[in-house]
Amino acid sequence: MLPELGHFALILALLLAGVQAFFGLAAPALHRDRWLAAVVPATAGHAVMVATAFGCLVASFVRFDFSVAYVAQNSNSALPLVYRIAAVWGAHEGSLLLWIVLLACWTVAAAFGVARLPPRFAARVLGVLGLVSFGFLLFTLATSNPFLRLVPAAPDGRDLNPLLQDPGLAMHPPLLYAGYVGFAVAFAFAVAAMLEGRLDQAWARWTRPWTLAAWAFLSLGIALGSWWAYYELGWGGYWFWDPVENASFMPWLVGTALIHSLSVTDKRGLFKSWTLLLAIIAFSLSLLGTFLVRSGVLVSVHSFAADPARGIFILAFLVIMIGGALTLYAWRAPLLRSDAGFEFASRESFLLFNNILLVIAAATVFGGTMAPLISDSLGLGTLSVGPQYFNPTFLLPMLPLIALAAIGMHANWKRGRLPQRKRPLIVTGLVALAVSAALVFGYYAGRPGLALMSLALGIWLVLSSLIDPVDRLRRGLTLPRAIVGMTLAHVALGVFVIAVTAVETYTTERDVALARGEVAHVGGYDFRFDGVDAIEGPNYDGVHGIVQVTREGQAVVTLHPEKRRYLVQQSVMTEAAIASQAGRDLFVALGEDLGAGRWSLRIQIRPLINYVWLAAALMALGGLVAASDRRYRSARAPAAEAVGPGQGSPA
Amino acid sequence: MTRYLLPLAAFALLAIVLGVGIKQSKTKGVVVSPLIGREAPDFTLPDLLAPPKKFDSRSMAGRWYALNVWGTWCVECRAEHEVLVAARQAARLPIIGLNWKDDEAEARSWLAQLGNPYEAVPIDAEGRVAIDYGVYGAPETFLIDPRGVIVHKQIGPLTPEIWERDFVRRATSPTGEGS
């Protein structure tokens, strides 16, 4: 009964999303102000129905309803409760529903947020969001219904993909999608503003907190995915330039550019058409990411449920949404004029370069991701693009970006005299150079050059970001949240650069074969292999190795790298054992049983790798703190536009 | 003004590339199995039913047969097993049961308890043959013609209807060579 109820709720949600889209867009266009009243109730109903459908699917999983095909394929009677819930988004149909649920959450939040804005503008925002949701609901119902019954019911389920049975991964899709979907709000604001034909600074002000929040979630989602790859996949790395990773990284890069260009549009009324375009592109890349993952067009370790019929549907949806928005852009953008100017070394210039570099970086990732597909389409044969392409081409725009960030945040708006606080900038720069030189030549020894440069840049960025807040605090001023958030994010970026440099340059890795009692010496640590023990989990069995780690005779830690065999799907998973020690990770993964008690082991010592994710989390925190700045919440701040009668803005 | 049309033009180009990409992924065959229409991979494995003899897939040449991939750890295989036993009694198509990544003793007791529908049970302990056949998960069943070509693949448990429609009818149709 529950699945049918969920199915029915999904159909109602589709209809209500249609109503929301129709009245939201038609009422302002046809000047029917009385229709505006229908938008918010439709939005509320749409959200309630989506929540009902999602609740029904969750309940089907929790109650082991193996008569539902999707549940039977992704759950099992031995699966623990947490993973039965996470299994809801363990495959295509459910993750699509999760997309829709999160879109509904953002839509409800946006409905509260726009309540104080001019009613026509608010209706248009909700109308666009309704249209997006309508498309996804139609897609779900037409090609990917999670509520289909299985006749006869399966006696037991095929179990959740063991890769996904990990706390990190259980949370990875919701956060990632929250970011993806969040850009829909910025997109809706941009489209609403273009439809309105009045793109003043107020639009940028309204969009900023939404973009920051979406960006923060996306950062967290990506970081969690990367952490999972390191910890669960046992590959020993944190980023693989896999098409699906890239699909989430491109909107992040463009979203970062958007955050910065929005600040220029908000503060100075410049870059208006550029900002609009970025808002459209950020969401387009989110949709494109969904397309690439779902359609099976690109082959990736991540892609599941590839199906060309779904691809065609998403492509049609992309053409309507993005094509429509870009047509609107081509029509409206020429009307935008910025009369304000700015000089060469002003903050505007720095932010312009920031945008250019970020877009270039996004373009290189885009090129590398799409190249295999394009080469295939043109019949040029199969092409594989890997880190050999991505690492250098991505680094090229990134290093200058860090330097520009360190200087640019001290530049003045509009005026072109070189940054105020020239002295602290030079001092911090020299300190950064000295510290990194000492580290590179003294502590770590060897491999200077690139490492020296990027370490110095990272340290400089951290120090430079702190100049302004420290100065303000010293003068007894309070720090607005926007400044706190910005500082956090920039410091985090600096930490990130330092950590990545350390990991990339100074990781020690050894693959060894050890018999019981044998010792491997890696990077100043002794790893003694004490054989393996059998282990048994709720839905897996396997072995774990016992590895005693000592340093100069002192016991450090005992590591238990696991090899699990999941019983239902018969797949073997590696659980690497990782211990964080004095700023570095000791990583041991259990390889193959070589017979006679010998096992192959992969041992790595990675300095600062934890800081890669810590930095990403800090960046996200910065985004959230900045989004909560009261500037964005005050009802009177933006100059309200003149709108028709019936305007009631709750102060 | 044309520069504001550039994003739209770029997107149109991208949409065409994606469209072509989809079309090709279709012709590339996201079908049930890329092996359909190809020769079934040959293998020789120990036979659970007649140790120490080995089962050679080439010994089936000249006959239609079904290759069923199963394991005692596979829950859905238990439901399917009845269908197979009934099919064996009807004796219209020989069934070879590829025992996939299983425990031999458990497999023997399973057949002793539930009945044996198989003509031979090659033991694929390490799953190498299953990989050759592109098996995702048990149960899966392949229909192989007298020339050794894979004609059909069933993913998931067989039902009497599926068995009759997709396997027996194909194997005994006048266009086929029948056994």
The distance in angstroms from the start CA to the end CA of chain B is 74
Which residue of chain B comes nearest to A334, CA vs CA? Answer: B1
Query: What's the confidence (pLDDT) of residue B19?
Result: 81
- Which residues does chain B have within 8 Å of residue A370's beta carbon, measured at their own beta carbons? 14, 17
Mean pLDDT for A355-378 is: 87
Q: Do A156 and B30 touch (CB under 8 A)?
A: no
Q: Do A326 and B21 touch (CB under 8 A)?
A: no
Mean pLDDT for A490-495 is: 96
Query: What's the confidence (pLDDT) of residue A484?
Result: 95
Give the pLDDT confidence of A502-559 residue by residue, as tens digits. Answer: 888 888 888 899 999 999 998 889 999 998 888 888 878 888 899 999 988 888 899 9
Mean pLDDT for A560-577 is: 79
Distance from CA of B154 to the nearest CA of A (A): 16
Q: Do A129 and A107 contact (CB within 8 A), yes or no?
A: yes
Closest CB to B26 among A152, A280, A308: A308
Q: Do B25 and A306 touch (CB under 8 A)?
A: yes
Task: Examine the pLDDT at A370 and tell me if it is beyond 90.
Answer: no
Distance from CA of B111 to the nearest CA of A (A): 20
Q: Do A297 and B22 touch (CB under 8 A)?
A: yes
Give the pLDDT confidence of A387-438 residue by residue, as tens digits. Answer: 888 988 898 899 999 999 998 888 888 877 665 678 888 888 888 888 888 7
Closest CB to B15 among A156, A315, A373: A315
Structure tokens at B10: 């770029």
- Mutate: best of B11, B24, B100, partner A, most A CBs <10 A: B11
Report cis status (omega within 30 of 0) of the bond before B117.
Answer: no
Tally the C-alpha atoms within 13 A of residue B102's C-alpha that lie toward its C-beta. 27
Q: What is the mean pLDDT of chain A?
A: 86
Nearest-angstrom CA–CA distance, A576 and A590: 7
Q: Show Cβ contacts of residue A645 under 8 Å, excluding neighbours closer than 6 positions.
A: A33
Query: What's the confidence (pLDDT) of residue A419?
Result: 57
Which residue of chain B comes nearest to A372, CA vs CA? Answer: B21
- Which residues does chain B have within 8 Å of residue A308's beta carbon, measured at their own beta carbons? 22, 25-26, 30
Chain A window 300-329: which residues touch B at a Cβ cutoff of 8 Å? 306-308, 311-312, 315, 318-319, 322-323, 326-327, 329
Distance from CA of A170 to the nearest CA of B (A): 23
Q: Do A586 and A569 contact (CB within 8 A), yes or no?
A: no
Q: Do B73 and A570 touch (CB under 8 A)?
A: yes
pTM: 0.79
Inform me whether the C-beta atom of residue A383 falls under 8 Å from chain B C-beta atoms: no
Give the pLDDT confidence of A373-397 residue by residue, as tens digits. Answer: 777 667 676 677 878 889 888 988 9
Report cis status (omega within 30 of 0) of the bond before A152.
Answer: yes
Query: What's the confidence (pLDDT) of residue A366?
Result: 92
Task: Examine the pLDDT at A570 and tell me if it is beyond 80.
Answer: no
Q: Do A155 and B11 touch (CB under 8 A)?
A: no
Q: Show Cβ contacts of residue A628 under 8 Å, excluding neighbours closer than 6 positions.
A: A209, A481, A485
Mean pLDDT for A221-228 is: 88
Query: What's the confidence (pLDDT) of residue A27?
Result: 93
Q: Do B25 and A296 touch (CB under 8 A)?
A: yes
Query: What's the confidence (pLDDT) of residue A569?
Result: 66
Nearest alpha-carbon partner for A516 in A575, A581, A450, A594: A594
- Which residues does chain A have within 8 Å of residue B74's beta carbon, measured at their own beta carbons? 568
Mean pLDDT for A460-480 is: 92
Task: Examine the pLDDT at A290 and tell me if it is beyond 80.
Answer: no
Q: Do A254 and A186 contact (CB within 8 A), yes or no?
A: no
Query: What's the confidence (pLDDT) of residue A187?
Result: 97
Q: Do B7 and A330 touch (CB under 8 A)?
A: yes
Q: Do A329 and B4 touch (CB under 8 A)?
A: yes
Query: What's the confidence (pLDDT) of residue B29?
Result: 38
Inform me whether the C-beta atom of residue A333 falls under 8 Å from chain B C-beta atoms: yes
Mean pLDDT for A191-218 is: 90
Distance from CA of A334 to the nearest CA of B (A): 6
Q: Do A373 and B17 touch (CB under 8 A)?
A: yes
The residues that bridge with A508 in the sheet, in sequence order, are A605
Inform me whether the C-beta atom of residue B174 falls under 8 Å from chain A C-beta atoms: no
**Beta carbons within 10 angstroms of residue A329's beta carbon:** 22
Mean pLDDT for A120-142 is: 95
Residue A394's φ and ψ, nearest 5 degrees, are -80, -35
C-alpha torsion A178→A183→A186→A190, nearest 10: -150
Query: All domains of chain B, ordered by start, with CATH?
Result: 35-172 (3.40.30.10)
Specify which of A307-316, A367-376, A436-445 reaches the highest per-range mean pLDDT.
Answer: A367-376
Nearest alpha-carbon partner for A277 in A355, A179, A205, A160: A355
Nearest-angstrom CA–CA distance, A539 and B73: 12
Inform me whether the C-beta atom of residue A568 falls under 8 Å from chain B C-beta atoms: yes
Task: Examine the pLDDT at A296 and tell me if it is beyond 60.
Answer: no
Each residue's pLDDT, cut to its tens digit, for chain B (179 residues) gives: 678 899 999 999 988 888 887 776 554 433 445 677 778 888 989 998 887 888 998 888 888 999 999 988 777 788 788 889 888 887 788 999 999 878 888 888 889 888 899 999 999 887 778 877 877 667 889 999 888 888 888 877 888 888 888 888 888 775 544 33
Query: What's the confidence (pLDDT) of residue A258?
Result: 97
Give the pLDDT confidence of A605-626 residue by residue, as tens digits. Answer: 888 888 999 999 999 999 999 9
Closest CB to A308 among B30, B73, B74: B30
Exposed / middle / buried, residue A15 (Cβ in 10 Å: 0-12, 13-18, 19+):
middle
Which residue of chain B comes nearest to A373, CA vs CA? Answer: B21
Residue B41's φ and ψ, nearest 5 degrees, are -60, 135
Which residue of chain A comes nearest to B12, CA vs CA? Answer: A323
Distance from CA of B174 to the nearest CA of A (A): 32
Q: Do A307 and B30 touch (CB under 8 A)?
A: yes
Distance from CA of B21 to the nearest CA of A (A): 6
Distance from CA of A499 to the nearest CA of B (A): 36
Task: Examine the pLDDT at A298 and tell me if it is beyond 60.
Answer: no
Structure tokens at A633: 């919440």
Inform me whether the C-beta atom of residue B30 falls under 8 Å from chain A C-beta atoms: yes
Query: What's the confidence (pLDDT) of residue A577?
Result: 87
- Which residues does chain B have within 8 Å of residue A297's beta carbon, measured at their own beta carbons? 18, 21-22, 25
Task: Examine the pLDDT at A567 and tell me if it is beyond 80.
Answer: no
Nearest-angstrom CA–CA distance, A142 and A134: 12
Task: Examine the pLDDT at A235 and tell me if it is beyond 80.
Answer: no
Nearest-angstrom CA–CA distance, A561 and A547: 8
Inform me whether the C-beta atom of residue A75 falls under 8 Å from chain B C-beta atoms: no
Residue B50's φ and ψ, nearest 5 degrees, are -140, 65
Q: Do B71 and A570 touch (CB under 8 A)?
A: yes
The distance in angstroms from the start CA to the end CA of chain A is 46
Inform me whether the C-beta atom of residue A334 falls under 8 Å from chain B C-beta atoms: yes
**Beta carbons within 10 angstroms of residue A263's beta carbon:** 21
Q: Do B18 and A569 touch (CB under 8 A)?
A: no
Q: Do B76 and A155 touch (CB under 8 A)?
A: yes
Query: What's the confidence (pLDDT) of residue A537?
Result: 82
- In this structure, the strands spanning B150-155 and B140-144 are antiparallel
Inform me whether the C-beta atom of residue A570 falls under 8 Å from chain B C-beta atoms: yes
Structure tokens at A598: 């010998």
Q: Do A330 and B5 touch (CB under 8 A)?
A: yes
Task: Examine the pLDDT at A236 and tell me if it is beyond 70.
Answer: no
Inform me whether the C-beta atom of residue A642 falls under 8 Å from chain B C-beta atoms: no
Which residue of chain B comes nearest to A154, CA vs CA? Answer: B76
Which residue of chain B comes nearest to A332, CA vs CA? Answer: B4
Element (DSSP H or E) covering residue B152: strand B150-155
Inform me whether the C-beta atom of residue B155 falls under 8 Å from chain A C-beta atoms: no
Q: Do A567 and B73 touch (CB under 8 A)?
A: yes
Distance from CA of B171 to the nearest CA of A (A): 26
Chain B window 66-125: which residues touch A at a Cβ cutoff of 8 Å? 71, 73-76, 78-79, 100-101
